[in-house]
Amino acid sequence: MSASQHGLGGLKYDPKKRHRPPELNVFFALILIVGAFEVLGRLFVGDSFLFNTRDRVDTLFNEPRLKIIVLQVAIIGIIALGVTQVIISGGIDLSSGSIVGAVAMIATAFAQASVNQYGMDNLKPILGEAYLNLPLIVPIVVGLFAGLVAGVVNGALIAYAKIPPFIATLGMMLFARGVANWTTKGVPISYLQESYAEIGAGMNPVFIFIALAVLMHFLLRYTKYGKHTYAIGSNEQAARMSGIEVERLKVLIYAIAGILSAVAAIVMSSKALTGQSGMGLMYELDAIAMAVIGGVSLAGGRGSILGTCIGALIYGVIISGFTFLKLDAFYQEMAKGAIIVGAVVLDQWRARKQAAKS
Amino acid sequence: MKKTILAASLTAAVTGGVAQVSNAADLAFAAYLFDDKFTTILRNGAEAYAEANGHTMIQLDANNDQGRQIDQINNLIANGIDAVIIQAVDSTAVQPMTQALKDAGIPAVFVNRKPVPIEQLDGGPFAYVASNEIESGTLQTFAMCNQLRAEGKSDGARGYLLMGQLTNEAAIQRTADAEQVMGLDMCNFMELVAPKTTGEWQRTKAQDIMTNWLSTGDPFDFVIANNDEMALGAIQAMKAAGISMDSVVVGGVDATDDALAAMKGGDLDVTVFQNAAAQGAGAVDTAAKLIAGEKVSREVYIPFELVSMDNIDQYLDRNK
């Protein structure tokens, strides 16, 4: 026994017992996967995954590929931000994909122009002539409001009607998809205004995703809202005893998730230049998978926005990597499935090891 | 004049239909669902053709309910009808209807949705009228092949293929046909750069897949898509990457409003139109032949129509 124990009540700083942030593991996994694609690419395709091997030697990296890696996960990533805080609070949200479909239809109905990008006249306005060429703020506000309402309904059902989150959001999933199909009876909405098309043009989805990720990170990490969210996810009874207004908080959590789904819907319909009732199909599962890969525990109370962002990146790298290796899309799905399960197995294993150590 | 009526007032309508012309027939059109764009064009086409030929035709809505459709057919049989045209709710479960119609000796034409198995139409006054899915992918890819040739790329053209949802027969058929055309002597200069990939019929999926393909930097000349939505997604991705749409031949299938607009704007090169109105007219025509006891082949196909820059104007308002 060394003398340093004195004054520490028998506790001693032991670097071996220090917890590595779980995000670090996910980040290592990301590096590993990127490395694997780089090596496989050099071996089998004769090209680099990350670096520029083309005649344009002005850039070190293959910029188009880096861009699409992020771009193709940005929209689902926005949903995943909302899903992350829902899961941290001990809940689940199955309705996010359907809310995307419903909001895409509602928002684009208010975003129609009288002529399309090719200068052709819009002969069949969805809401009538009076609703053409509205200011950009109208579709955005209407869309976000629709998402907010869906989220508040989810939250109220869970918090006040005491319905399990799985069932409440399953109901909303079916209902919102119904709304999406009902809006125009399945007819796609085109002839969108140029100002609306700007929202999701180019790399804008990525910028919106990053901005929202920073905001959500701040919210969860540094505010009372965030700390209480973790608290009810870890132990709802204890949180209630310590004076947290659990019901109100839950409504707020699902409301924010609803708004984020609405943002994703607006960005997506803008990027595709169309509103379609099938939009966002199965996105809820992709969003949950991103969070889970990023170390968010489905048991609640554990996880972070940073982790989810890395989880989203892993998703993007896999999609682009398989295209790069010229492998069929079927393998992509298989790999995605394996990685989701693998991430959880690793996470469980790490948690057990930690529990054994302390 | 619209003769859309409810099943409740069926008896009155059927018995009230008085033949004006000697060869006029009492027909019934049993739609799977009125509230469907394609079906609406289909039954309007049938209605117009029936009226022009002096037939009376009532329309029935099964509201996507197989049980209701069977009841409707049995009602028609009980009240006496010359022939029925059926767009089946569930094409794998038409046997109760064919059996009842066969027993009553009433001719029936199945339209648009192919009864499975098709052999149950044998031995009765039955026929099936539709467009043959084999044509769409073939017409599309062959037109693209011709255009690439015309652009002087017959010494080798490289491109991509976007498939629809793989659980869907049309996706598999159109893909197989596209590949078959690319195997022809005349078109085997067309070669895929990457394995064919499914965009699940969706514009946004296709957009991301195309952007991924673009990141490989491989030069390419054409993009074949199983439907227009995916073709439009690919076009949007290419335009975002600053690729001139004059240098790429893009083909879709369906001739949707958006696709026709994109073709008018010079972005989309080829699409294929399924003529719903002609299917409706063909069904009425076939029904009249069956009533007259003429020999009709079991499957009557209404051709798909190729839409390109040359004939686009006649298609612009066909979907409406």
Domain count, chain B: 2
Q: Which of B252, B273, B294 is the last residue of a domain?
A: B273
Contact A324 B215 (CB under 8 A): yes
Q: What's the confidence (pLDDT) of residue B133?
A: 87
Q: Which amino acid, residue B268?
A: L
Contact A326 B217 (CB under 8 A): no
Q: Give the separation between CA B124 and CA B172, rounded to whole angstroms.
A: 31
The residues, ordered by sequence, that sit 6+ positions from B183 with a Cβ below 8 Å of its Cβ are none
Contact A68 B194 (CB under 8 A): no
Q: Is the pLDDT of residue A1 over 50?
A: no
Same domain, B160 and B245: yes
Q: Is residue B126 assigned to a domain? A: yes
Same domain, B41 and B68: yes
3-state SS assignment for residue B94: coil
Residue B201: name the closest of B156, B232, B180 by CA: B232
Q: Kindly report the CATH class assigned to A22-40+60-348.
A: mainly alpha
Backbone angles phi, psi at B311, to 5 degrees: -125, 15
Q: How far is CA B311 from CA A119, B134, B308, in A?
A: 19, 22, 6
3-state SS assignment for residue B313: helix
Q: What's the confidence (pLDDT) of residue B16?
A: 39
3-state secondary structure B237-255: HHHHCCCCHHHCEEECCCC
Who has greater pLDDT, A147 or B308? A147
The CATH number covering residue B85 comes to 3.40.50.2300
pLDDT band, residue A358 (cuts 50/70/90)? low
In what helix (H) or strand (E) does residue B223 lie, and over which residues does it extend? strand B222-225
What predicted TM-score, i.e. pTM, was given to this entire model?
0.82
Same domain, B89 and B113: yes
Q: Give the separation between CA A2 and CA B187, rounded to whole angstroms.
A: 84
Q: Is the pLDDT of residue B64 over 90?
A: no
Backbone angles phi, psi at A80, to 5 degrees: -60, -30
**What pLDDT digit, counting tens, does each position of B163-174 carry?**
998 877 888 999
* Residues of chain B with C-beta less than 8 angstroms from the C-beta of A116: 261
Residue B117 neighbours by CB distance under 10 Å: 11
3-state SS assignment for residue B199: coil
Mean of pLDDT over chain A: 90
Q: Which amino acid, residue A148?
A: L
Mean pLDDT of A229-245: 95
Q: What percent of chain B has pLDDT over 90?
A: 68
Q: Is the pLDDT of residue B177 over 90?
A: yes
pLDDT band, residue A57 (cuts 50/70/90)? low
**What are the boundaries of each domain within chain A?**
22-40+60-348
The residues of B whose Cβ lies within 8 A of any Cβ of A are: 35, 37, 194-195, 197-198, 202-204, 207-209, 211-217, 232-233, 236, 240-241, 256-258, 261-262, 264-265, 320
**What pLDDT digit, counting tens, does each position of A73-94 carry?**
999 999 999 999 999 999 999 9
For B215, the closest of A186, A279, A320 (CB atoms) is A320
Q: Is residue B310 assigned to a domain? A: no
Pick among A37, A100, A112, A326 to test the B interface (most B CBs inside 10 A): A326
CB pairs under 8 A between A and B: 85
Q: Crossing angle for the helix pair A165-184 and A137-159, nearest 10 degrees? A: 150
Who has greater pLDDT, A350 or B51? B51
* Residues of chain A with C-beta less than 8 angstroms from the C-beta of B239: none
The parent domain of residue B294 ranges over 7-130+276-302
Q: Is the pLDDT of residue A11 over 70?
A: no
Same domain, B264 and B185: yes
Contact B212 A278 (CB under 8 A): no
Mean pLDDT of A304-320: 94
Mean pLDDT of B87-107: 90
* Residues of chain A with C-beta less than 8 angstroms from the C-beta of B265: 117-120
Q: How far is CA B226 from CA A264, B171, B283, in A?
A: 27, 6, 27
Structure tokens given for B96 = 């109760």
Same domain, B72 and B124: yes
For B233, the closest of A72, A272, A323 (CB atoms) is A272
3-state SS assignment for residue B122: coil
Spatial contact of B100 and B82, defined as CB atoms under 8 Å apart: no
Spatial contact of A31 and A50, defined as CB atoms under 8 Å apart: no
Q: Give the separation between CA B285 and CA B223, rounded to whole angstroms.
A: 38
Mean pLDDT of B51-66: 91
**CB burial class (10 A; 0-12, 13-18, 19+) of residue A156?**
middle
Mean of pLDDT over chain B: 88
Q: Is the pLDDT of residue B17 over 60?
A: no
Query: What is the distance in angstroms between the Cα of A286 and the nearest Cα belonging to chain B?
Result: 14
Q: Give the separation between CA B62 and CA B70, rounded to whole angstroms.
A: 9
Q: Is the pLDDT of residue B15 over 50?
A: no
Mean pLDDT of B89-110: 91
**What pLDDT digit, counting tens, does each position of A20-44 carry?**
777 888 899 899 999 999 999 999 8
Q: Is the pLDDT of residue A329 over 80?
A: no
Spatial contact of A279 and A104, defined as CB atoms under 8 Å apart: yes
Q: Give the separation between CA A160 and CA A246, rounded to whole angstroms.
A: 10
* Residues of chain B with C-beta less than 8 angstroms from the C-beta of A118: 261-262, 264-265
Q: Is residue B316 assigned to a domain? A: no
Nearest CA in chain A to B162: A329
Who has greater pLDDT, A95 or A118? A95
Residue A308 neighbours by CB distance under 10 Å: 31
pLDDT band, residue B142 (cuts 50/70/90)? very high
Residue B270: name the closest of B311, B303, B239 by CA: B311
Q: Is residue B308 assigned to a domain? A: no
* Residues of chain B with C-beta less than 8 angstroms from the C-beta of A47: 216
Residue A78: name the closest of A215, A273, A212 by CA: A212
Query: What is the distance in angstroms between the Cα of B245 and the nearest Cα belonging to chain A?
Result: 14
Q: What percent of chain A has pLDDT over 90?
A: 63
Considering only A134-143, A180-189, B10-19, B311-320, which range has the smallest mean pLDDT?
A: B10-19
Q: Is residue B22 assigned to a domain? A: yes
Q: What's the confidence (pLDDT) of residue B13?
A: 38
In what helix (H) or strand (E) does residue B86 lie, and over which residues does it extend? strand B83-86
Q: What's the confidence (pLDDT) of residue B318?
A: 72
Q: What's the confidence (pLDDT) of residue B3?
A: 41
Q: Give the separation between CA A317 and CA B18, rounded to whole angstroms.
A: 70
Place of tokens 């045209």: B85
Spatial contact of B243 and B221, defined as CB atoms under 8 Å apart: no
Q: Give the separation between CA A165 and CA A8, rounded to whole angstroms.
A: 44
Contact A71 B198 (CB under 8 A): no
Mean pLDDT of B65-78: 92
Spatial contact of B192 and B186, defined as CB atoms under 8 Å apart: no
Q: Is the pLDDT of residue A59 over 80?
A: no
Q: What's the confidence (pLDDT) of residue A25?
A: 84
Same domain, B138 and B101: no
pLDDT band, residue A18 (cuts 50/70/90)? low
Q: How far is CA A323 from CA A37, A39, A160, A331, B193, in A?
A: 11, 15, 47, 10, 11
Nearest CA in chain B to A64: B215
Spatial contact of B151 and B249, defined as CB atoms under 8 Å apart: yes
Task: Provide the Cα torsion B117, B119, B120, B125; round to 10°.
Answer: 140
Mean pLDDT of A228-246: 95
Query: What is the distance in angstroms between the Cα of A52 and the nearest Cα belonging to chain B?
Result: 10
Mean pLDDT of A293-304: 91
For A271, the closest of B202, B204, B264 (CB atoms) is B204
Same domain, B145 and B244: yes
